[in-house]
A and B are shown apart, each in its own frame.
Chain A
């Protein structure tokens, strides 16, 4: 079957709206509200420069989300490859532009708005793989040949993003793709073999590195090797978490942040700031709300019977999970600092729009009940 087989007619928007999870939408809004409040504090108790912009961006992105939620599912299926290739071409353009501009380049400027192609690719790879595997047979999935194409179309953008260089995003795209491959049933041993191969190559690569490159990698893995450079950020972040204690220092009273000991308090380290002011109670609450949002995503993935829709939800949900996990883990000193923001809470337009777009697509897929192939 190559067509996006529809058992029944597409539902009306009223029908779709009635079936959508309001809890899901509310929790998204709650997270954005938490982000706004925290950015108000980050601006030293001022709506400027971040809080008001964050809120208005969220409202705009909310429109994008709701729009995408009511697009007919089949259009996602149909446009999946096109979307992927447009994203890929933009990535190449960014790469060329970056070389021309002599430096790291992640943006393409369209005049009225800028686009970060690597963010588009996070959605593009999910749609691409979901469509690809919708059409695949079980034998195809389980054969070596069957995963060469998805592997190539995954590694291509990953490599492009990695050389930008944006290692964090590259790894996120790679992980998302791997999870989809896992979800469709690629055998365990193939993952084991891939991991084994990488583990086997790494020591060889390591030997070819210069001393300064090795040091850079080691510092990346263990920032406390360099307490005045990278290590300073993570040490100050841990102090902020710890000194917040159970109840926090109170709204607008986080000393680590307000006295500028904590860097990037409005972007990557915003969860640190929130946790310093609201303590363990606050930080666990944010963690818990995110857990519910993710769980609802998985509930949708179980409830829906359409394979493309299910796979898309799994992919986008994984993408969101990676954002939350990597960001929180890095600010708490569990993972190296790779520059991944906390969606809905960190200040930044690109991630806001891309994550709200993916929520819109998840919402759309979540009401795709009768699109089963019977």
Chain B
């Protein structure tokens, strides 16, 4: 018995040693695992723990304010009130919603969205009830607050354009980030973030945006915010002062009446854009809070293209306004001088094709000044043929045509100044004398934008200084660096004299638009460009008068003008789409704008 127990106890003790060894080993494994997790891999898990608990949210920076040259606000940020509902703070969500609807009506779609948002989101996450509340609505909600448990008002910022459609094409508009805009900027993913979608809002976006702030929040496993850890408020975007003058802008916009077209006014000494309009326009405020499908379609399908900025994107044949370029090219090349005369019989034969003057009775013999005054086509056919397209092109490019000017707007077009090689590459055919003739009167292949045309005019009338149009006031240094083009002053004086005669001379094409404000007068040049081709048959039977044609087929009307004649400061280019007549429609608009510019005390 005792020996049996002794032996059993002996076996037990020996086996116990094994058991203890296994226990120790197991605890060693636990200790090693603890070391591995809490020391070796600690950094990794600390990061994961922070990722769990810290949620970084962006605080959207207010966009920079935009002012006109007089300091009037033309784009700003408005307080925008939103009503939110937090489901867990309201005992009966349906009842609260009903009561809210009695104060602020919700459309069926809005209500549907609210109900589905409440269902899909966690109960403590605020759901948007209604955006852009008016002051009255806000105060009504606050008054009924006791009946609306869980309803909160929050304040956001939304872009506001106080002059509504006046600056539609200059400023453009802001809108939510679309898939196409999305680069690698994480900010662009933030709901509510708006970027400039067109106009200066877009090209100056990098300055206007400012620096977004961040707020680090501690959240629990269900996403509820427990506390704020850190806040960086960010910085408001830089404000911007433009060169435009709202008074002039308004005058220009209103001068168009119901016409579709564009006008640009420059300060010829600096290139500052004092006004730029494109009509019809639209209200950019519509875009800030999401434009409705119907409104968008209306804008998109309007045959007068309100969304397109005709001042920089509209490319038109310059027509007779281009005669200034041709005249300067011919003068500079020495092909003609002040006294060179060509004879106009009303038409001429060029390479077996008959080319007509607009005045089929003919102008007789005339020099360059008279040719400009009467806008004689025959003179410029002749001049163009003699000087050649390459010299014309060279002059055109010097004066700012044929290339994008980069004023910072969307879809800015470069126009077209043809050359022999261009035609060969484009159509595979040789440059014909008829092409030169057409170029001579600004028809054919030549295309310019109103912005380019006014730049050309400014460079001529300021005495040949290569100013560039800009919305941002150039510095003194910028101004000193403006180059003088190699164009003889006497040649410039000749074309200026021609343009003076156009408006002020007896029988000038724009004599109806002339004005005399205390001796200050306007010079300029008309242009009427065909939209359709006039057939030989029609020539024979008599050209159909424009007013009998449908709007879309009527001629475009141009006028470019400058004032004062002696010491020019303002230049304007006006295009009236299908306006029929440069002298009859475009010139009076330009005249009104320039008179307004003179009356204003533009600093």
Contacts and interface: CB of A to CB of B under 8 A. Distances in A.
Contacts of B46: 242-243, 245
B52 A182 contact: no
B585 to A, nearest CB: 71
B295 interface: no
A63 B477 CA distance: 95
Interface string A289-331: 0110011001001100101001100100010010001001100
A207 B471 CA distance: 79
Given A261-B221, A298-B20, A185 B15 contact: yes
A243 B49 contact: yes
B353 interface: no
B8 interface: yes
Contact of B19 (A236, A283, A318, A328): A318
Interface size class of B (residues with CB under 8 A): 35 or more
A105 interface: no
Contacts of B35: 280
Interface string B217-257: 01111100010000000000000000000000000000000
A189 to B, nearest CB: 15
Given A138-B4, A243-B42, A374-B2, A183 B12 contact: yes
Interface string A205-246: 000000000000000000000000000000010111111111
Interface string B523-563: 00000000000000000000000000000000000000000
Interface in B33-59: 33-35, 37-39, 41-42, 44-46, 48-50, 52-53
Contacts of B9: 305, 307, 310
A169 to B, nearest CB: 19
Contacts of B52: 236, 239, 255-256, 259, 261
Contacts of B15: 182-185
B50 to A, nearest CB: 8
Given A184-B11, A259-B218, A325-B26, A301 B16 contact: yes
A73 B46 CA distance: 52
Contacts of B11: 138, 184-185
B23 interface: yes
Nearest to B11: A185
Interface string A23-43: 000000000000000000000
A181 B12 CA distance: 10
B57 to A, nearest CB: 17
A284 B34 CA distance: 8
B266 to A, nearest CB: 62
A307 B12 contact: yes
Nearest to B30: A328
A138 B16 contact: no
Contacts of A318: 19
Contacts of B23: 294, 298, 321
Interface size class of A (residues with CB under 8 A): 35 or more
A244, A311, A318 — which one has the most chain B CB atoms within 10 A of its CB?
Answer: A244
Contacts of B19: 179, 182-183, 298, 314, 318
A67 interface: no
A137 to B, nearest CB: 7
A43 to B, nearest CB: 16
B19 to A, nearest CB: 6
Contact of A256 (B31, B49, B222): B49
Contacts of A372: 5
A146 to B, nearest CB: 13
B219 A259 contact: yes
B33 A185 contact: no
Contacts of B24: 291
A245 B39 contact: yes
A51 B221 CA distance: 23
A280 B16 contact: no
Contact of A242 (B26, B31, B48, B218): B48
Nearest to B33: A332
Given A255-B52, A307-B5, A241 B37 contact: yes
B7 interface: yes
Contacts of B517: none
A287 interface: yes
B18 interface: yes
A100 interface: no
Q: Which 8 A-B pairs have the closest CB atoms?
A: A242-B45, A243-B49, A259-B220, A185-B11, A280-B38, A260-B221, A241-B37, A245-B42
10 contacts: A183-B12, A236-B52, A259-B52, A275-B38, A284-B31, A284-B34, A302-B16, A314-B12, A314-B16, A374-B2
Interface of A: 1, 133, 137-138, 179, 182-185, 236, 238-246, 255-256, 258-261, 275, 279-280, 283-284, 287, 290-291, 294-295, 298, 301-302, 305, 307, 310-311, 314, 318, 321, 325, 328-329, 332, 334, 372-374
